[in-house]
Amino acid sequence: MSKYKTDTSKETIQKAEKIAKATQRPGQTKEQTKLIAQGIQKGIEQYKKQYKAKARELDKKLKQLNNKANIPDEKTPLNAITKDQNKNNWLPWSLLMFSWVAFFIFIQN
């Protein structure tokens, strides 16, 4: 046994044994099948570790992007941000005024 203890789930062990039995050749001994199952089990564990590492990296990058998007740059002053937000306010107000004018013209006729 190795000096490092691996925490393998029963499900992983069962999957490895099932795959090893499914690929078993005629005349293959139980010991050989067991060794193949252990190799498959190690492969599954390694895949899971790599997947978890990739998921952690993606989470870190996503958090960094979210933090950058939420925090305004130091170069842009706060009043520039509010000016951008105020630029879009004229459209709904102008449409509202236009509808009132159109309504009054319609009533007059």
For residue 76, the model assigns a pLDDT of 56
pLDDT digits (tens, 9 = 90+) for 63-108: 888 887 776 655 555 555 565 566 667 888 889 999 999 999 988 8
User: 30-53: per-residue pLDDT in tens?
Assistant: 899 999 999 999 999 999 999 999
What is the pLDDT, as a whole number, of residue 8? 78
**pLDDT number for residue 6:** 58
Ordered by start, the domain boundaries in the chain are 8-71, 77-109
**What digits encode the pLDDT tens for the residues 3-31?**
545 577 888 888 888 988 888 888 888 89
Radius of gyration of the chain (CA): 33
**Torsion angle in degrees (nearest 10) through CA of 48, 49, 54, 59:** 100
For the segment 51-68, the average pLDDT, to the nearest whole number, is 90
pTM score, whole prediction: 0.50
CB atoms within 10 A of CB 65: 10
Q: What is the pLDDT of residue 55?
A: 94
Full 3-state SS string of 7-64 = CCCHHHHHHHHHHHHHCCCCCCCHHHHHHHHHHHHHHHHHHHHHHHHHHHHHHHHHHH
Q: Classify burial at 45, counting beta carbons within 10 Å of its beta carbon; exposed 0-12, middle 13-18, buried 19 or more.
A: middle
